[in-house]
Amino acid sequence: MTAPRTVTVYTADHGDVTMPEPSWCTGVHPAEGYRVDIEHQAEEIELTVETPCHGPVVVAKAGLLQRPFAEIGPKAPLVMVEFDELHEYDSESLGGLLDSLVAWAIGPMHQLHERLRLLEDAQ
């Protein structure tokens, strides 16, 4: 059995801070910040869509995030999702987001698609 992986990050307020490093973390930890600002981040996944006028466009990004020294909010891993800005989700709230996206895709967006096809067929 191997020892847990650790990382040391220099902070302006606590000097060198050594902590466990999750296996999913990219290992990028900028120095000179404050201990409460330390984050573990996983590789981001992107939702890229093809657009007629601009080609491929990234419309959302998501990835695991953990702030082990957060003064407020959870210290457990979360999923950050960026649409217009960053939003953080625990397991339950992420399930709600996914349900909303699926409902939007198969409900109103599917209806718009059908309506557009009818309009195109009428021309």
Amino acid at 58: V
CA dist., res. 95 & res. 40, Å (int): 22
H/E stretch holding 32 reads none
Spatial distance between the Cα atoms of 30 and 37, rounded to a whole number of angstroms: 10
Q: How confident is the model at residue 2, as a pLDDT?
A: 67
What's the pLDDT score for residue 1?
Answer: 59
pLDDT for 73: 84
pLDDT tens digits in sequence order for the chain, 123 residues long: 566 899 999 999 999 999 999 999 999 998 889 999 999 999 999 999 999 999 999 999 999 999 999 998 889 999 999 999 999 999 999 999 999 999 999 999 999 999 999 999 999
91-106 and 108-122 helices, crossing angle to 10°:
20
List the chain domain ranges: 1-89, 90-123
